[in-house]
């Protein structure tokens, strides 16, 4: 049953109170009796009163005064008061009563039915208000609980996302290490050219797959850096048409293998303040996808155009297209389209997420339009352009003469992974250099003192003595011609480059070291 509702009866005469009690007697009410104002006020404070039946004529504090006091207390301002008068009162008094906060008057002898009826209305109103307040309170409590739960799960999600990003970074870094000796070993074999078609073919395949794997791992590392806000752009004035053209040319063999027609529309120079490596990375991702999701003999067109203050790079293919309901989700991390033919299972699903983030870091955007399945897709990168006229980029001095200048050098490799050290050593020896390898920092320093190399290739993460300390010690050796110090590491962030520079390294190469970049570096060394 519902809780009984409190009704306060105030009258200085006990028998009047008895009469009122008799009239209002009901299990729905708890009737509180007060013979004077003081007791009435106490009962009001101690209970939750729904209505007051108040006798006007009382000694000391009369009904009007008491009503005034009650109405002056905030908590009771809304509590209805029914005045009881012994006789009919004049209008003047009625108005005074209403001013004091009365809601009704009843004359004695009280018509019991009328009183019961009036009190029932007030009680019902009170019950509803109380229910509403309780409901409200429960709701607020629930909201509070839910907020706490939400905050808790949000914090857990944040931790999980952070752990995932860190895991991705470590995973990519660890995956890079074994790729080092594979890269150098393969480069060595590719140089040796056996002439046997099956070997050449296999090496070609291995080379492409390795290249693909390095790219996937690089994307993985990049996306984890972007998520953690660690990726920085190196923006310089660049010609977007030139970057796109160079990227298209570098990927042409990939399209030729699939007999796909790759067309680059001619475009004038378009200058932007951009990170050329990252713009090339965006275009590479789009073109690799275009080739991957277009059947053999399909067509892919690339165009760059200026529209207002923006440059639009468009990659259009005649491939499998994207179903309308998947368009929004393909830019999400690890998002791939599930296709019945199984094509959607290719890749990690991070290429587009990364490409879009890189475009956004340039205050640009990446979007896609596709008329539907098997109707091809058009990806559009929009980048802000610079208002200035494009500069002509002069080739860097020395770049030309460096090519082809084989320059036998004395090289010391300091690397604790024997496979990496050996494969790199062999590769470099194959190029005509004299190479020594040490598996620890102290052996490496001794070797440097002994053989006086022109170049030291030093791993950074060695167990006992790290690369930074090794470099500092080699720098401190009394040598007339100090060697060129090259750090080789799995970490390629800007802060890693800065750290190796501060330690005294001249160069910083990221594992797996591509033979071309190492060659280029070694060719620039003059002895
Ligand atoms: P991945 O290619 O590694 O799966 P991406 O992030 O590059 O990851 O692409 C996400 C998904 O978007 C792909 O799995 C593919 O289903 C779809 N997609 C990307 N590019 C194209 C394209 N040119 N044509 C059709 N579908 C595409």
pLDDT at 427 over 80: yes
Indicate the helix (H) or strand (E) that contains 305. Answer: strand 299-307
Burial of 246: CB neighbours in 10 Å, binned 0-12, 13-18, 19+: middle
The residue ranking higher by pLDDT, 174 or 396, is 174
Q: What is the mean pLDDT of residues 167-188?
A: 86
Could you give the 3-state DSSP secondary structure of residue 274?
A: strand
Q: What is the mean pLDDT of residues 87-111?
A: 73
pLDDT value for 44: 93
3-state secondary structure 377-421: EEEEEEEECCCCCCCCCCCCCCHHHHCCCCCCCEEEEECCCHHHH
288 CA distance to ligand 1 middle (Å): 9
- 65-98: burial string, b at 16+ Cβ within 10 Å, e else: ebbebbbeeeebeebbbbbbbeeebeeeeeebbe
Q: How confident is the model at residue 100 (pLDDT cuts 50, 70, 90)?
A: low
Nearest CA to ligand 1 atom 13: 336
pLDDT value for 198: 85
User: Per the structure block, which two tokens stand in for 114?
Assistant: 């009328």
pLDDT at 118 over 80: yes
pLDDT at 56 over 70: yes
Closest CA to 456 of 481, 432, 419: 481
pLDDT in tens, 135-175: 999 999 999 999 999 999 999 999 998 888 888 888 888 88
**Please, what sign has the CA dihedral across residues 134, 136, 142, 144?**
negative
pLDDT in tens, 214-270: 888 888 888 888 887 888 888 899 999 999 999 999 899 989 999 999 999 999 999
CB-facing half-sphere around the CA of 16: CA atoms within 13 A: 21
pLDDT at 273 over 50: yes
pLDDT in tens, 386-395: 865 444 444 3
Mean pLDDT of the chain: 87
pLDDT value for 340: 57
Percentage of the chain surpassing pLDDT 70?
Answer: 91
**Do the beta carbons of residue 284 and residue 247 sit within 8 Å?**
yes
CB-facing half-sphere around the CA of 210: CA atoms within 13 A: 23
pLDDT in tens, 31-50: 999 999 999 999 999 999 99
pLDDT value for 344: 47
pLDDT in tens, 120-130: 999 999 999 98
256 CA distance to ligand 1 middle (Å): 20
Distance CA 258, CA 441 (A): 48
Q: What is the mean pLDDT of residues 438-466?
A: 91
pLDDT value for 398: 39
Q: Which of 260, 286, 289 should be mutated for ligand 1, with most atoms under 8 A from CB?
A: 289
CB-facing half-sphere around the CA of 342: CA atoms within 13 A: 0
pLDDT value for 406: 61
Q: How confident is the model at residue 296 (pLDDT cuts 50, 70, 90)?
A: very high
Least confident segment among 82-91, 424-433, 439-448: 82-91
pLDDT value for 391: 43
Any alpha helices (H) in 193-301, and if so which ranges? 197-227, 240-257, 276-292
Nearest CA to ligand 1 atom 3: 347
Residue 218: which residues within 8 A CB-CB, separation 6 or more? 172
Phi/psi at 508 (5° precision):
-140, 115
Q: How confident is the model at residue 346 (pLDDT cuts 50, 70, 90)?
A: low
> Which numbered atom of ligand 1 lies nearest the CA of 337?
16
418 CA distance to ligand 1 middle (Å): 39
The residue ranking higher by pLDDT, 435 or 193, is 435
289 CA distance to ligand 1 middle (Å): 6
Burial of 56: CB neighbours in 10 Å, binned 0-12, 13-18, 19+: buried
């Amino acid at each position: 049953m519902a809780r009984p509702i409190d009704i306060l009866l105030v009258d200085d005469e006990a028998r009047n109170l008895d009469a009122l009690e008799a009239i209002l007697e009901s299990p729905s009410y708890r009737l509180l009796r007060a013979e004077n104002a003081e007791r009435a006020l106490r009962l009001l404070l101690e209970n939750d009163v729904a209505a007051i039946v108040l006798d006007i004529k009382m000694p000391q504090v009369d009904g009007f005064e008491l009503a005034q006091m009650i109405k002056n207390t905030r908590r009771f301002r809304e509590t209805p008061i029914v005045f009881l008068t012994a006789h009919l009162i004049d209008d003047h008094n009625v108005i005074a009563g209403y001013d004091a906060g009365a809601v009704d008057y009843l004359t004695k002898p009280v018509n019991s039915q009328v009183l019961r009826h009036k009190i029932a209305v007030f009680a019902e109103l009170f019950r509803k208000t109380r229910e509403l307040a309780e409901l409200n309170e429960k709701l607020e409590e629930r909201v509070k609980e839910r907020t706490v739960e939400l905050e808790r799960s949000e914090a857990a999600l944040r931790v999980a996302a952070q752990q995932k990003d860190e895991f991705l970074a470590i995973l990519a870094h660890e995956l890079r290490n074994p790729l080092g000796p594979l890269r150098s070993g393969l480069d060595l074999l590719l140089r040796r050219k056996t002439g046997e078609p099956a070997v050449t073919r296999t090496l070609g395949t291995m080379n492409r797959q390795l290249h693909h794997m390095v790219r996937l791992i690089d994307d993985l590392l990049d996306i984890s850096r972007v998520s953690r806000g660690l990726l920085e752009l190196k923006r310089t004035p660049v010609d977007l048409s030139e970057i796109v053209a160079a990227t298209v040319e570098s990927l042409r063999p990939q399209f030729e293998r699939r007999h796909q027609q790759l067309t680059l529309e001619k475009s004038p120079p378009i200058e932007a303040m951009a990170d050329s490596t990252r713009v090339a990375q965006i275009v590479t991702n789009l073109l690799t996808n275009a080739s991957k999701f277009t059947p053999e003999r399909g067509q892919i067109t690339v165009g760059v155009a200026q529209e207002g203050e923006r440059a639009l790079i468009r990659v259009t293919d005649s491939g499998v297209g994207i179903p309308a309901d998947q368009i929004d989700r393909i830019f999400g991390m690890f998002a791939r389209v599930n296709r019945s033919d199984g094509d959607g299972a290719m890749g990690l699903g991070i290429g587009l997420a990364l490409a879009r983030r890189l475009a956004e870091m340039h205050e640009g955007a990446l979007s896609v339009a596709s008329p539907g399945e098997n109707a091809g897709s058009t990806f559009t990168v929009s980048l802000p352009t610079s208002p200035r006229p494009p500069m002509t980029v002069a080739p860097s001095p020395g770049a030309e003469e460096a090519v082809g200048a084989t320059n036998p050098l004395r090289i010391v490799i300091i690397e604790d992974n024997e496979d990496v050290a050996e494969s790199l050593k062999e590769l470099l020896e194959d190029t005509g250099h004299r190479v020594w390898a040490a598996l620890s920092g102290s052996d490496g320093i001794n070797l440097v003192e002994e053989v006086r190399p022109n170049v030291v290739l030093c791993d950074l993460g060695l167990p006992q003595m790290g690369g930074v300390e090794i470099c500092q010690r080699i720098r401190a050796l009394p040598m007339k011609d100090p060697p060129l110090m090259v750090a080789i590491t799995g970490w390629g962030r800007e802060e890693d480059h800065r750290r190796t520079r501060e330690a005294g390294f001249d160069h910083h190469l990221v594992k797996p070291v591509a033979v071309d970049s190492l060659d280029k570096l070694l060719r620039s060394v003059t002895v």
